[in-house]
C-alpha cells in the first residue's frame, strides 16, 4: 500500500455512530485521506470493533491502520454472465455468484426502482451490483462517503431493508456470440423466445468507448432501400445514422420494418433490433413476421418494453448496440442497427433523473439529456471490419419538431425523414414530407449531378403546389396560369407516384409490395417533369412501383 506525500493528501473528518456486537454504541472518528494515483485509505480507530492490520506508523501517539480496498475476485463477473446466458433465474444467479462477489454493504432504503445502499467501500459509478435476491443494480449516485443510490435493472419484488448487496467487479456485461442471430433476448441477454439459452464463451460490457477516429470509415455512400421517395429525396448513408420522425400513427414502425426487409434481401446484411419502451404486442408481431418471412435467421431482437422498469428501458439500446458492434467486428458484414423508439429512451432517462432527485431542465427533461443521447449516437460508427447503419424511429410529441428531445437527436443524424400527418390523412404512404426531409448525401458531389438536379426539380414542383393549394381551394385550378397549371398537375402525379405498397403490409392491404431501383425512380421522375406522363391519370400513378413503359 502506497502513502502519498502530505502535499497530495486531502483530509476530511466525519463523525459516525456504529453498534458493536453487544449492541452498545461507540464513537469512531475516521480520518480518510485520498490520494489520486493509489486511492489509499488511512483509518484512525479510537475503539476498534474488528481486527485491523496495524503498521509501525504513529500519528500523535495513535496507531494508524492501513486498510486496502475491499477485494473483488476477478472471476465473479464471468460466472455471473455465464449464469445469465444459461437462462438462470434469480435464485440460481444468487447461488452461483454468492461465493465470488464481494459483499460491500446492505440495502437501507427502497423507493420504486431506486435502491439506497450503505457500503463499507464505495464502488465507482455504473458498477453492477447484485442483491441477495438476485436483482441487478446499477450505481448512479454517491450520496456521501458510505451511501450510494442505485437503479434496479429488474423488478424490485423481494427486496427488503438490510438485505446484503454484493459487487460484481465490473459494469454490466452481456454474453455475446453469433448464436444471438435468430433470437429474442432481454437486457441481460436472457432468452425471451422460449428457446434454449445462448451458447456463449465471451462477454462484453455494454459501456464501451467509440472506435478511434483514425479507424472510423466515412459514410459517403448511398444505401439503396428500394423505397422511391427516400432514395430520391433523402438517401440513407451506408454506415450512417437515419431518424424517422413523426407523431403517433403516421407509419414510423412500418417504414422501419420495410427498410429492414429491404436491407436483408437486397444487401444480404444482418439486423439488430432494439425495442425500447414500445408495446410488447408490436414486438411479438415483429418476431412472428420475421419468422414467417424467413428473415429471422439474420436478425437479433433485443427487447426492453414499456412494462419494464426505467433502468431496463434506459440501457436496452446499449445492449443491442453492443451486439451490433460484436457482429460488425466478427462477421465483417453490413449490420443494420434499428431502434424503436429513441424517444422512449429519452423518457426513461427523464424518469431516472426524477427518481434520483435531479432538478429538471427545459420542458421537464433531464439536465443530462445531451450527454445521454451522444453516448449512444457516437458509438454508431463504421470501421474497416464492417459497417453499422442505424435507423431510429423518434416519436414527436404533439408533432412539435422543436421539442428538446427531438432537437437533441436531430444534430447527430446524417438523414432526417419527417413523416407528415397531413400526407397520411390524404392516404399517401409512406407519409414522407418531401420538403422537410433532408440528407447530408443529397449533394451533387456525392449522388451525382443528374440525381441532384432531378431531386431539386421535384422539390420545386411540390413546393409550388403547396403554395397554390389555398388558391386552388378558393378559386379553382382553372384560374391559374398555364405554367402553374402544368406544375400543379405534374406535382400531384409526382406526389402519388412517390407513394408505394410495402412488402411488410401486403397481407393487410392486399397489394403486392414493390421495390424500385434508384435508376428506375430517376428515369420515371425525369419523364414526369418532361411531361411524358401528362396524359396518365393520377390514379394510375398511385400505389405502384415503376411506371409502365
Which residues are the active-site residues? 252, 278-279
Cβ neighbours, 10 Å, residue 44: 16
- State the Cα–Cα distance between residues 97 and 75, nearest whole angstrom: 10
The burial of 252, by beta-carbon neighbours within 10 Å (0-12 exposed, 13-18 middle, 19 or more buried), is given as buried
C-alpha to C-alpha distances, 29 to 22, 43, 52, 386, nearest whole angstrom: 20, 8, 15, 57
The burial of 514, by beta-carbon neighbours within 10 Å (0-12 exposed, 13-18 middle, 19 or more buried), is given as middle
**Contact in structure between 408 and 346 (CB atoms under 8 Å):** yes
**Contact in structure between 42 and 31 (CB atoms under 8 Å):** yes
**Contact in structure between 151 and 126 (CB atoms under 8 Å):** no
- State the Cα–Cα distance between residues 503 and 262, nearest whole angstrom: 9
Q: In sequence order, which residues have a C-beta less than 8 Å from that of residue 160 and are 6 or more positions away?
A: 107, 110
Residue 240, C-alpha cell as written in the block: 450512417
Kindly compute the dihedral angle of the four CA atoms of residues 338, 247, 283, 155, in this order, to the nearest 10 degrees.
100
Cβ neighbours, 10 Å, residue 214: 5
- Give the sign of the dihedral formed by CA 54, CA 56, CA 57, CA 60: positive
- The candidate with the shortest Cα–Cα distance to 46, out of 55, 59, 56, is 59
- The candidate with the shortest Cα–Cα distance to 367, out of 358, 357, 376, 375, is 358
Angle value at C-alpha 399, between 397 and 405, nearest 5 degrees: 45
- State the Cα–Cα distance between residues 45 and 339, nearest whole angstrom: 54
* Residue 547 main-chain phi, psi, to 5 deg: -75, 150
C-alpha to C-alpha distances, 147 to 102, 142, 412, 441, nearest whole angstrom: 17, 6, 37, 51
User: DSSP readout, 334-357?
Assistant: EEEEEEE-HHHHHHHHHHHHHHTT
- Radius of gyration from C-alpha coordinates of the chain: 29
Cell 414526369 belongs to which residue? 528
**H or E element: which one contains 222?**
strand 222-223
**Contact in structure between 148 and 117 (CB atoms under 8 Å):** yes
C-alpha to C-alpha distances, 429 to 35, 230, 244, nearest whole angstrom: 63, 12, 14
**Contact in structure between 136 and 159 (CB atoms under 8 Å):** no
Question: What are the helix (H) ranges across 234-389?
Answer: 252-267, 280-293, 310-331, 342-355, 369-377
Amino acid at each position: 500500500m502506497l502513502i502519498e506525500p502530505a502535499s497530495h493528501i486531502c483530509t476530511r473528518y466525519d463523525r459516525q455512530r456504529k453498534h458493536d456486537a453487544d449492541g452498545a454504541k461507540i464513537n469512531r472518528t475516521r480520518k480518510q485521506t485520498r490520494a489520486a494515483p493509489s486511492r489509499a485509505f488511512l483509518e484512525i480507530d479510537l475503539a476498534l470493533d474488528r481486527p485491523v492490520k496495524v503498521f509501525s506508523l504513529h500519528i500523535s501517539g495513535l496507531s494508524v491502520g492501513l486498510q486496502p480496498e475491499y477485494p473483488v475476485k476477478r472471476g465473479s463477473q464471468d460466472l455471473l454472465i455465464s449464469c445469465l446466458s444459461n437462462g438462470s433465474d434469480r435464485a440460481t444467479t444468487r447461488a452461483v455468484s454468492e461465493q465470488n462477489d464481494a459483499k460491500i454493504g446492505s440495502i437501507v432504503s427502497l423507493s420504486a426502482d431506486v435502491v439506497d445502499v450503505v457500503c463499507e467501500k464505495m464502488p465507482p459509478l455504473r458498477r453492477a451490483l447484485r442483491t441477495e435476491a438476485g436483482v441487478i443494480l446499477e450505481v448512479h449516485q454517491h450520496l456521501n462517503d458510505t451511501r450510494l443510490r442505485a437503479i434496479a435493472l429488474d423488478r424490485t419484488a423481494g427486496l427488503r431493508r438490510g438485505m446484503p448487496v454484493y459487487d460484481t467487479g465490473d459494469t454490466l456485461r452481456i454474453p455475446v456470440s453469433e448464436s444471438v442471430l435468430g433470437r429474442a433476448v432481454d437486457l441481460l441477454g436472457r432468452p425471451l423466445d422460449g428457446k434454449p439459452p445462448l451458447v456463449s464463451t465471451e462477454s462484453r460490457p455494454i459501456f464501451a468507448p467509440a472506435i478511434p477516429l483514425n479507424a472510423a470509415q466515412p459514410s459517403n455512400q448511398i444505401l439503396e432501400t428500394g423505397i422511391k421517395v427516400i432514395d430520391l429525396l433523402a438517401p440513407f448513408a451506408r454506415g450512417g445514422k437515419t431518424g424517422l420522425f413523426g407523431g403517433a400513427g403516421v407509419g414510423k414502425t412500418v417504414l422501419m420494418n420495410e427498410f429492414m426487409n429491404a436491407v436483408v434481401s437486397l444487401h444480404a446484411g444482418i439486423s439488430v433490433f432494439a425495442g425500447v419502451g414500445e408495446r410488447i404486442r408490436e414486438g411479438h408481431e415483429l418476431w412472428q413476421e420475421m419468422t414467417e418471412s424467413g428473415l429471422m435467421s439474420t436478425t437479433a431482437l433485443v427487447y426492453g418494453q414499456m412494462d419494464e422498469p426505467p433502468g431496463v428501458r434506459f440501457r436496452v439500446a446499449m445492449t443491442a448496440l453492443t451486439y451490433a458492434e460484436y457482429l460488425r467486428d466478427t462477421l465483417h458484414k453490413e449490420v443494420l442497427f434499428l431502434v424503436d423508439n429513441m424517444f422512449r429512451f429519452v423518457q426513461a432517462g427523464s424518469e431516472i433523473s426524477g427518481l434520483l432527485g435531479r432538478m429538471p431542465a427545459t420542458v421537464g427533461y433531464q439536465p443530462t439529456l445531451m450527454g445521454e443521447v451522444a453516448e449512444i449516437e457516437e458509438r454508431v460508427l463504421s470501421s474497416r471490419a464492417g459497417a453499422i447503419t442505424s435507423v431510429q424511429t423518434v416519436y414527436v410529441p404533439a408533432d412539435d419538431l422543436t421539442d428538446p428531445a427531438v432537437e437533441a437527436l436531430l444534430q447527430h443524424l446524417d438523414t432526417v425523414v419527417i413523416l407528415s400527418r397531413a400526407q397520411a390523412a390524404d392516404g399517401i404512404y409512406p407519409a414522407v414530407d418531401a420538403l422537410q426531409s433532408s440528407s447530408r448525401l443529397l449533394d451533387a458531389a456525392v449522388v451525382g449531378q443528374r440525381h441532384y438536379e432531378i431531386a431539386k426539380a421535384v422539390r420545386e414542383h411540390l413546393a409550388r403546389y403547396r403554395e397554390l393549394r389555398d388558391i386552388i381551394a378558393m378559386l379553382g385550378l382553372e384560374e391559374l396560369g398555364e405554367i402553374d397549371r402544368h406544375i400543379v398537375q405534374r406535382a400531384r402525379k409526382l406526389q402519388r407516384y412517390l407513394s408505394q405498397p410495402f412488402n411488410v403490409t401486403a397481407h393487410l392491404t392486399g397489394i403486392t409490395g414493390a421495390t424500385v431501383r434508384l435508376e428506375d425512380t430517376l428515369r420515371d421522375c425525369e419523364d414526369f417533369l418532361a411531361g411524358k406522363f401528362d396524359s396518365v391519370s393520377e390514379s394510375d400513378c398511385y400505389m405502384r412501383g415503376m411506371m409502365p413503359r
